[in-house]
Amino acid sequence: MKYFDEYRDEQLAKNISRQLKETVTQNWTIMEVCGGQTHTILQFGLEQLLPPNVELVHGPGCPICVTPLALIDKAIAIAQQPDVIFCSFGDMLRVPGSKSDLLGVKALGADVRAVYSPLDCLAIAQAEPERKVVFFAVGFETTAPANAMSVWQAKRMGLNNFFLLCSHVLVPPAMSIILESSSNRVQGFLGPGHVCSIMGYKEYIPISRQYRIPIIITGFEPIDLLEGILRCVIQLEEKRAVVENQYGRALTEQGNLAAQALLKEVFAIIDRPWRGMGVIPKSGYKLNSEYKQFDAELAFDVGSVDTVESSICISGEILRGVKKPVDCPAFAKQCTPENPLGATMVSSEGTCASYYKFSRLEKKEASHV
Amino acid sequence: MSDLSQSAAIFAPVCPIPNDTSDVIKLGHGSGGKMSSDLLDNVFLPALSNKILDQLDDAAVMAINDTRLAFTIDSYVVSPIFFPGGDIGSLSVYGTVNDLSMRGAIPAYISASFILEEGFPIADLHKIVESMKKACLETNIQFAAGDTKVVNRGAADKIFITTCGLGILQYNPAPAANRAVPGDVVIVSGDIGLHGTAIMCARESFELETTIQSDSAPLNELVQEMLKTCPAIHCLRDITRGGLATVLNELASASKVGIEINESAIPVDAQVASICALLGLDPLYVACEGRLIAIVPDNEVEGLLNTMHEHRLGKNAQIIGKVSQQYPERVFMKSRIGGQRILDKLAGEQLPRIC
Amino acid sequence: MCLAIPGLVEEIFHKEGLTMAKINFAGMRRSACLEYVPGVKTGDYVLVHVGFAISVLDQEEAQRSLDLLKQTGEVNSFKNELDNARDYT
């Protein structure tokens, strides 16, 4: 398959692995930001191709994981309203709220549907003018343009029964928070490739400058990640700190201007709470005043639900790269994908869930590589 | 009825346990993965365990006087009931035929019970029954007994079918999940993930246009040819819910051996790979309905592969790995780029990922 | 939410005023919105995320960077690129 197979080539991987081993002279800790990148690293066993002194820690790039529990409870409450068709990406359907989850309320009669694209919701809204269609708009900057287009189009079509429940988060503020922390161990970043295909990578330059840290904007295939790691190690060894673009086939420094324009048109930047990390200033989007008629939080008054997070969950430290899942006493015991206690286990792309699926036994059993 | 039942046969999402402590059945208990085996271990086996049941293989083998028989039962709750490449009727017959075949038995008799939802169109029932008739003729299995129940609207999703099959064992010892030994070779009969992705595409919500069809097919003839060439096949298992990874884990567990496979050797159709990539699914965990795993002694492999390649359902058969004594009861996969990872049973859900 | 995969732009059409296209992913097709990639043509490869093309893939750049990785001296090339990049401080 074009644009896949070339980036999964074993010989190329061995080549880069060898170059890495020849280049590195001391220990380095690198964080990959995106959940999709974490998934690839674990799925392909990439860490086994790295020299032992390069350590990868996994970042907070899983928007499902960082969606606050209170918002999930709100989503569930809205879904249970009789005239609502609640639409969501598939992986949100199993995220537990305080008492249930979206698929659970569907079993009790709520109209909850998995969709692939927010545009699909507009067709549903047109087909069912008597019902209210609500879309759970969770995501980073990669997904925001799709959601922006859906409300922009809804306005153009004159739809008054389409709503967005917004949980958009932005990457650069989260990176700054990680670097600000006194327990930060991250010395270099693999930046978010698809986020930057939208936003460009200008925003990462001040971060690289302020914290004197190399940031390699990296893709998602195994060869992309290996190349990103190699470039990062070269910078670290040469004591450099600039933003590099590994994913040149997919993005440029300025990003996607058409998408950025619509984001400005539709959204306003606000402070957002990140599950496990607290409120991060200017780290999220909400619909601005021109589009507030589509805001589900304004249109539906569902009161507040008491939300209680698990006291033993260490998601916050995992999201910041300070700890790994195996450092958590509950990992793979009380806390599993079937019974997640917190943010990083709830989504199949959360660090703990990825570890559980791909490698939780390796530390105990496999010293074979 | 909600379309939750559609997931039961293929993806069966696992409910994370809500904060209340009541113990109830979740969809995940039907997924074929870890929760299913936990249910078996915690509820069914403690009550019903005996030497025959404890085989826990695709079909049980037993002897009545001197006749050795294979006996199996399965339920079919797939949605949609008509899908590209088959329907719930043909699926139910082939599924039972396949389970019998995995013990090397000649399928002989099948019975079926039908649970019908009030309001289900009889025209659809006609189609399904015709499809079952065709499948029985094709596989030489005789329909011997049946039963029908009707439940109120909403208490079932259109139609559920349970089939029970009886076969005559030909080989002694029969292929069994616990017979793999280090040094054996692992073979897959063809490309994986077709059934699950075809079902997914038949659902309108994702609007994927594709030409792929379910691989639902009867494996009895292929297996008979394979056993003629190689009566010493150690294990045969058809890949169903939970996918290739789950079957390999079951075999590794039952035989108490390690299994090592190569990702680059596993055949996956390009469209299946694309659909899985788009939706963030892993083909290794996606259901098949016309594919099997064979574990055979090393010296029998070439002859067996030649035989399989001559049959339409085995023409893409491939060696995908081997049985080792390292890491017993674990399955390891060497990824396309060289790193290794553990391939676990289907634990949580495979819901389409957008991340 | 970063799962975006490459596909080939086939038939371009319009729906409810939006420019759309059928995208071919190795034989499987799905429609996607092209509003964010103005100027894209049939035959181009795009990255598709949740039903939207978010970027046109630069085939030449892809080839260039793969060729670079296949050589043994890519570390030196990366170092050269780095030498040409000014630090920010």
Helix, strand, coil shares of chain A as percentages rounded to 5? 45, 20, 35
For residue A3, is it within any domain?
A: no
Last residue of a domain, one of B139, B169, B199: B169
Q: Which of A58, A67, A197 to mutate to test the interface with C (most CBs of C within 10 A)?
A: A197
pLDDT at B350: 61
Please state, in angstroms and as integers, the Cα–Cα distance from residue B119 to each residue in B82, B123, B124, following that order: 17, 11, 11
- CA–CA distance, B216 with B93 (Å, rounded to integer): 10
B253 and B144 housed in the same domain: no
Judge if B199 and B107 occupy the same domain.
no
End-to-end CA distance of chain B: 30
Question: What local confidence, expressed as pLDDT, does residue B355 receive?
Answer: 43
Give the pLDDT score at B201: 84
Q: A311, A337, A355: which is the final residue of a domain?
A: A311
| Shared-domain flag, residues A85 and A175 | yes
DSSP code of A39?
A: H
Q: Is the pLDDT of residue B11 over 50?
A: no
Is B2 contained in some domain? no
Write the pLDDT tens digit of every residue in B184-226: 999 999 999 999 999 888 875 778 889 999 999 999 999 999 9
Please state, in angstroms and rounded to a whole number, the distance separating the CA atoms of residues A21 and A44.
19
Quote the tokens at residue A47.
């860490």
Predicted confidence at residue C89, as pLDDT, reads 65
Residue B321 has pLDDT above 80, yes or no: yes
* Residue A29 burial (CB count, 10 A): 16
Do B78 and B196 fall within a single domain?
Answer: no
Is B340's Cβ below 8 Å from some Cβ in A?
A: yes
B265 dihedral zone (left: phi>0; alpha: psi -120 to 50; beta): alpha
Cβ(A208)–Cβ(A215) below 8 Å = yes
Average pLDDT on A233-253 reads 95
Q: What is the pLDDT of residues C65-86, one digit of tens each?
A: 888 888 766 788 888 888 888 7
The full set of domain ranges for chain C reads: 5-84
CATH number of the domain encompassing residue B323: 3.90.650.10
Answer yes or no: do C49 and A143 touch at CB < 8 A: yes
Residues A282 and A191 occupy one common structural domain: yes
- Spatial distance between the Cα atoms of B333 and B263, rounded to a whole number of angstroms: 6
Residues B256 and B123 in one domain: no
**Alpha carbons C21 and C24: distance in angstroms, whole number:** 9
Residues of C with CB under 8 A from a CB of B: 1-3, 5, 22, 25-31, 48, 50
- Containing H/E element for B198? helix B194-202
Q: What is the DSSP string of B283-343?
A: GGGS--SS-EEEEE-GGGHHHHHHHHHTSTTTTT-EEEEEEESSSTT-EEEE-TTS-EEE-
Residues in contact with B94: Cβ distance below 8 Å, sequence separation at least 6, in sequence order: B86, B135, B139, B216, B217, B218, B219, B289, B290
Partner residue opposite B338 with nearest CB, options A13, A35, A106: A13
Q: Please name the chains neighbouring C, where neighbouring means 3+ C-beta pairs under 8 angstroms.
A: A, B
Q: How many domains does chain B have?
A: 2
Q: DSSP character for A131?
A: S
Query: Is the bond leading into A172 cis (omega within 30 degrees of zero)?
Result: no
Q: Cα angle at B304 between B301 and B305, to 5 degrees?
A: 85
- 8 Å CB contact of A119 and C51: yes
- The CATH number of residue B134's host domain is 3.30.1330.10
Q: pLDDT value at position A279?
A: 93
**Quick one: pLDDT at residue C87?**
76
Domain-located, residue A4: no
Q: For the domain that residue A93 is a member of, what is the CATH number?
A: 3.40.50.11740
Please, are residues B342 and B332 in contact by the beta-carbon 8 Å criterion?
yes
Query: Over the stretch B119-164, which tens digit does the pLDDT of each residue have?
Result: 999 999 999 999 999 999 999 999 999 999 999 998 898 999 999 9
Least Cα distance to C33 among C43, C19, C12, C49 occurs for C19
Q: What CA–CA distance (Å, rounded) separates B164 from A178?
A: 59
**How do residues C24-62 score in pLDDT, each as one tens digit?**
998 899 999 999 999 999 999 999 999 999 999 999 988
* C28 with B355: Cβ contact below 8 A: no
Residue B110 sits in the same domain as residue B248:
no
d(CA B40, CA B32): 11
Q: Would residue A2 count as lying in a domain?
A: no
Mutate to test the interface with B, among A91, A351, A354 (most CBs of B within 10 A): A91
Q: Provide the whole-model pTM.
A: 0.88
The residue among A282, A328, A331, A278 whose CA lies nearest residue A66 is: A278
Q: Residue B14: phi, psi to the nearest 5? A: -95, 125
pLDDT, tens digit, 9 for 90 and up, residues A273-302: 998 888 999 999 999 999 999 999 999 987
**For chain A, what percent of residues have pLDDT higher than 90?**
66
| Whether residue A278 is found in the same domain as residue A356 | no
Q: Check whether residue A244 and residue A345 sit in a common domain.
A: no
The verdict on residue A190 lying in a domain is yes
Residue B29, pLDDT above cutoff 90 = no
- Paired tokens of B313: 């359902």
Percent of chain A with pLDDT over 70: 96
Q: Which of B167, B53, B168 is nearest to B110 (CA)?
A: B167
Q: Are residues A86 and A102 in the same domain?
A: yes
- B325 and A CB contact within 8 Å: no
Assigned domain for B40 exists: no
* pLDDT at residue C85 in the model: 80
Residue C64 CB neighbour total at 10 angstroms: 13
Question: How far is the C-alpha of A143 from the C-alpha of A265, rounded, in Å?
Answer: 15
Query: Which chain B residue has the Cα nearest residue A338?
Result: B16
The answer as to whether A369 is a domain residue is no
**Phi and psi, residue C73, nearest 5°:** -100, 30
> Measured in whole angstroms, how far is the alpha carbon of residue A117 from the centre of its chain?
17
Same domain, A180 and A319: no
Answer whether B326 sits within 8 Å of A48, measured CB to CB: no
Is CATH 2.30.30.140 correct for C5-84? yes
Q: What is the pLDDT confidence band of residue A101, given thresholds at 50, 70 and 90?
A: confident
Look at C86 and B310; give whichever has higher pLDDT: B310
CB contact B112 to C (< 8 Å): no
Q: Are A211 and A339 in a shared domain? A: no
User: How many structural domains is chain A composed of?
Assistant: 2
User: How close is the nearest chain B Cα to the Cα of A300, in Å?
Assistant: 24
For A322, counting Cβ atoms within 10 Å of its Cβ (0-12 exposed, 13-18 middle, 19+ buried), the class is: middle
C-alpha distance from A24 to closest chain C C-alpha (Å): 11
Q: Rounded distance, CA B180 to CA B256, Å?
A: 8
Q: Which residue has the higher pLDDT, B351 or A53?
A: A53
The predicted pLDDT at position B7 comes to: 31
Does residue A110 share a domain with residue A257?
yes
Question: Which of A116, A78, A34 lies closest to A351 in space, CA to CA?
Answer: A34
pLDDT at A10 over 60: yes
Residues 6+ positions from B105 with CB-CB distance below 8 Å: B59, B61, B69, B70, B167, B168, B169, B170, B174
Peptide bond into B182 cis (omega under 30): no
**Of B45, C36, B120, the residue nearest A149 (C-alpha):** C36
Residue A85 CB-density burial (10 A; 0-12 exposed, 13-18 middle, 19+ buried): buried
Q: Which domain holds residue A164?
A: 11-311
**B4 in any annotated domain:** no
The answer, yes or no, to whether residue B4 has pLDDT greater than 50, is: no
User: Residue C1: what pLDDT?
Assistant: 45
Answer yes or no: are the C-beta atoms of A151 and A266 closer than 8 Å: yes
Select the residue of C4, C18, C65 nearest A142 (Cβ to Cβ).
C4
Same domain, B201 and B109: no
- pLDDT classification of A37: cutoffs 50, 70, 90: very high
Element (H, E) at B250: helix B243-255
Structure tokens at A255: 């990003």
What secondary structure, in 3-state letters, does chain C show? CCCCEEEEEEEEEEECCEEEEEEEECCEEEEEECCCCCCCCCCCEEEEECCEEEEECCHHHHHHHHHHHHCCCHHHHHHHHHHHCCCCC
CB contact under 8 A, A258 and C35: yes
For A197-225, how does the pLDDT look when each residue is reduced to its tens digit (9 = 90+)? Answer: 999 999 999 999 999 999 999 999 999 99
Name the domain boundary from B120, B135, B169: B169
Asked if residue C55 lies in contact with residue A248, where contact means CB atoms within 8 angstroms, the answer is no
B60 close to B71: Cβ distance less than 8 angstroms: yes
Q: Do A357 and B17 touch (CB under 8 A)?
A: no
Q: Are residues B194 and B148 in the same domain?
A: no
Q: Name the helix (H) or strand (E) containing B261.
A: strand B258-262
Side-chain half-sphere CA neighbours of B314 within 13 A: 22
ipTM of the complex as predicted:
0.92
Closest residue in B to A10 (Cα) is B337
Q: How many CA atoms lie within 13 A of A178 on its CB side?
A: 32
Is the same domain home to B189 and B144?
Answer: no
Distance from CA of C25 to the nearest CA of B (A): 6
pLDDT tier, C2 (very low <50, low <70, confident <90, very high otherwise):
low
Rounded to whole angstroms, the Cα distance separating A141 from A170 reads: 6
A221 Cβ contact partners less than 8 Å away, ≥ 6 residues apart:
A4, A7, A8, A40
Confidence of residue B14 (pLDDT cuts 50, 70, 90): very low
Residues in chain B: 355
Q: Which residue of A has its CA nearest to C52?
A: A146
Enclosing domain of residue B71: 50-169
Across all residues in chain A, what is the average pLDDT? 90
Angstroms from B194 CA to nearest CA on chain C: 13
Q: In what order do the strands lie in the sheet with A54-61?
A: A54-61, A28-34, A188-192, A215-218, A243-245
Is residue B32 domain-resident? Answer: no
The whole-number pLDDT of residue A369 equals 31
Query: B104: helix, coil or strand?
Result: coil
Q: Per residue in A44-91, pLDDT tens? A: 999 999 999 999 998 888 888 889 888 999 999 999 999 999 999 887
User: Nearest by CB to C27, which of B207, B274, B353?
Assistant: B274
- pLDDT tens per residue across span A237-246: 999 999 999 9
**What's residue B204's pLDDT?**
55
Q: Do residues A293 and A319 share a domain? A: no
Phi, psi for residue B309 in degrees, rounded to 5: -65, -20
CA distance A96 to chain B (A): 7
Distance CA(B221)–CA(A176), nearest Å, equals 63
Residues A186, A333, single domain; the answer is no
Mean pLDDT of B76-94: 94
Both tokens of A126, joined, read 């047109």
Asked if the Cβ–Cβ distance from B15 to A103 is below 8 Å, we say yes
Minimal C-alpha gap between A170 and chain B (Å): 15
Residues A36 and A87 in one domain: yes
Taking an 8 Å cut-off on Cβ atoms, the answer to whether C26 and B278 are in contact is no
Say if residues A219 and A225 touch (Cβ distance below 8 Å). yes
Cβ contacts below 8 Å, chain B against chain C, sum to 45
Put simply, the answer to whether B341 touches A336 (Cβ < 8 Å) is no
* Residue B18 in this model has a pLDDT that exceeds 50: no
CA distance B19 to chain A (A): 6
Looking at the fold, whether A23 and A54 belong to one and the same domain comes out as yes
